[in-house]
A and B are shown apart, each in its own frame.
Chain A
Amino acid sequence: MNQRALRLTGSTRVLPGFGLSMGISVLFISLVLLLPITGLFGQLADLSLAQYWAIITEGRVVASYMVTIGAAAVAALINAVFGLLLAWVLVRYEFPGKRLLDALMDLPFALPTAVAGITLATLYAGNGWMGKLLEPLGFQVAYTWVGIALAMAFTSIPFVVRTVQPVLEDLPAEVDEAAMSLGATDAVAFRRVIMPHLWPALVTGTGLAFVRSLGEFGAIIFIAGNMPYETEITALMIFVKLQEYDYAGASAIASVVLFVSLALLLAINIWQGRFVRRLHGGKG
């Protein structure tokens, strides 16, 4: 509370540029972000509540939510484990090729999603490099929801690595030295000492990865197979509605994704804010 009061009286008075930065930000957000979004709601206004409900609860659309959320959840879980491992290795160990590995982490962000899509589909199809190895073992990736989860995991892995990494870096060495000197095993010490510091960042990163996966289209569509009720993602349902000139229907489904994503992002932002404040303000 003290700190907040200080900020209010201190910063706002002394530093210049409030008007200018507020002006630019509000103008930009209004013109570039909010104005077009009103178009989306303009479309929704053509629908009655009952129609809206009917569109967003239609069997095939609901099935697509299940596929999308299920695959995104699996992808997020994979990324939580894999991302944690990578962040840990990158922060704690020295080994040849470390800088290269570190740079590679951002590849999914830098690589256009359509490129990722056709490449993953090529690799994991029955006659691709990976598909040739996996399919004889009875493990089909392409054109199943496993492929969807894979594409989602690929495009969102950097979120986890890049949020956990800085926290791990800032962790003072004394923390685990103390734990080790008490004779705890690695596993126990990690769980008891490191994880409590790490899990807020881990949850934030995983959450961001999850949100990103909900909206992803380009990377998934090539590998999904797009079978009704089985491997259709929600973004495809929006695309289908667009192809039918059904703007209102497309906007209705898009609005569901938008609300869910924004709610999750807001939750992450608020939660992160609390966490940062707690860190800076000590435990009190």
Chain B
Amino acid sequence: MTLPAFFRHSVLAIALGASIATPAMAQERELLNSSYDIARELFSAINPEFEAWWQQEHGEEISVNQSHGGSSAQARAIMQGLRADVVTFNQVTDVQVLADAGLVAEGWQQALENNASPYYSTTAFLVRKDNPKGIESWDDLVKEDVSMVFPNPKTSGNGRYTYLAAWGFADKQFDGDEEQIQDFMRTFLGNVSVFDTGGRGATTSFIERGIGDVLISFESEVNNIRNEYGSDDYEVIVPPISILAEFPVAVVEQNAERNGNSDLAHSYLEFLYREDTQRLLAGFNYRVHDESVVEEFADQFPETELFNVEDVFGSWDEAMETHFAGGALLDQLQRR
């Protein structure tokens, strides 16, 4: 290629690049849902339902876009200008951060039922075929020959739930004796073989790389993994006592107004509470509140004692402060 030709091609390329990169001026309204990492399949299933429902109710064609990432990273992105209309997160603190910044209305937790959490889950275990290490509850995890995989509590909300669940168990077991709890937690953290940065990375380590005896994740996630990778090779264990994991949702009012999507955003969140959607959620192994759906799926969700973060740790803010901040308990427990 001669040089002038090369430059001609570059010019052509610029035009081409610009045309690809500029989104076509869409006529239809687009709603952006910013969500946590592992909810991609879930919302890929819900969004078409909502689009069809809105079309039927309002005769308007709309589309819902998804953005996924670590829940905290997503909240940060919105504060820095990601124009999401609604958030569907896996941690209350991450929505609260947005409320503190004035992007989400104060009192968002009262805006919708069940603390604005249309579905919930808990922390559960995935073990290998026939459960060779006989793992039934949290105290089985601190045995010497058990190794486990869960995501890094520093980088993952999922990992934080696991840490808090184990702490909450120890708190009950040792009747709040701080020293014994910390010993328990030290052994617990010492039995981790890999700290991946996110939930899916941990799954890959456990399944594809064959590391560890136990994978700890959300109940919904371990069930989905088992379905995905073969129900013969893995077993799901829901411990008799564990943590309540809420999945809070909220409208990012400032963005929704700016995008002219306020009505759409509010309807979208309410849509998550409808019976049909709740059935869909239960299909993805999330626990829901709709009574008829709860009855329908009763076999799928073993009864278990769930405690709130607030009950054991006071509040999410306090839990973050005393456990996960730089130099706080998590760091101390892992210190050599």
Contact = CB atoms under 8 A, between A and B. Distances in A.
On whether A and B touch (CB less than 8 Å), the answer reads yes
Interface of A: 55, 58-60, 121-122, 125-127, 142-143, 221-222, 225-229, 236, 239-246, 249
B97 A245 contact: yes
Interface residues of B, number: 28
Contact of A244 (B205, B209, B211, B326): B326
Contacts of B76: 242, 245
A208 B72 CA distance: 35
B326 A249 contact: yes
B336 A229 contact: yes
B23 interface: no
B45 interface: no
B331 interface: yes
Contacts of B209: 121, 125-127, 142
B326 A226 contact: no
7 contacts: A125-B208, A125-B210, A126-B210, A143-B205, A226-B197, A229-B334, A243-B72
Given A242-B73, A244-B326, A245-B72, A60 B194 contact: no
B197 A239 contact: yes
Contact of B194 (A226, A243, A249): A226
For the complex of A and B, the 4 pairs showing the least CB-CB separation, nearest first, are A125-B209, A228-B334, A226-B195, A243-B155
B327 interface: yes
A150 B209 CA distance: 18
A227 B149 CA distance: 11
A58 B192 CA distance: 22
A40 to B, nearest CB: 15
Given A126-B209, A127-B209, 14 more contacts: A58-B327, A125-B208, A125-B211, A126-B210, A126-B211, A221-B197, A226-B195, A226-B196, A226-B197, A228-B195, A241-B326, A242-B76, A243-B73, A249-B326
Nearest to B75: A245
Majority-rule SS of B interface residues: loop
Contacts of B195: 225-228
B324 interface: yes
A143 B72 contact: no
B154 interface: yes
B193 A143 contact: yes
B154 A240 contact: yes
A225 B196 CA distance: 7
**Which one of A236, A243, A249 has the greatest number of beta carbons of chain B within 10 Å?**
A243
Contacts of B193: 143, 225
A143 B195 CA distance: 10
Interface of B: 70, 72-73, 76, 97, 152, 154-155, 192-197, 201, 205, 208-211, 324-327, 331, 334-336
A240 B198 CA distance: 11
A246 B328 CA distance: 14
Contact of A243 (B97, B154, B192, B336): B154
Among B70, B97, B211, B324, the most chain A Cβ lie within 10 Å of the Cβ of: B211
A227 B211 CA distance: 14
Given A243-B155, A245-B97, A60 B331 contact: yes
Contacts of A127: 208-210
A159 B97 CA distance: 44
Nearest to B157: A243
A118 B211 CA distance: 16
Contacts of A121: 209
B101 to A, nearest CB: 11
Nearest to A143: B194
Contacts of A225: 193-195
A42 to B, nearest CB: 15
Nearest to B331: A60
A142 B324 CA distance: 27
A55 to B, nearest CB: 8
A279 B104 CA distance: 65
A8 to B, nearest CB: 32
Given A228-B195, A244-B324, A245-B72, A59 B210 contact: no
B210 A227 contact: no
Contacts of B211: 125-126, 143
Contacts of A245: 72, 76, 97
Contacts of B73: 242-243
A241 B325 CA distance: 10
Nearest to A55: B326
B334 A60 contact: yes
B98 to A, nearest CB: 12
Which of B70, B208, B324 lies at the interface centre, i.e. has the most chain A CB atoms within 10 A of its CB? B208
Contacts of B197: 221, 226, 236, 239
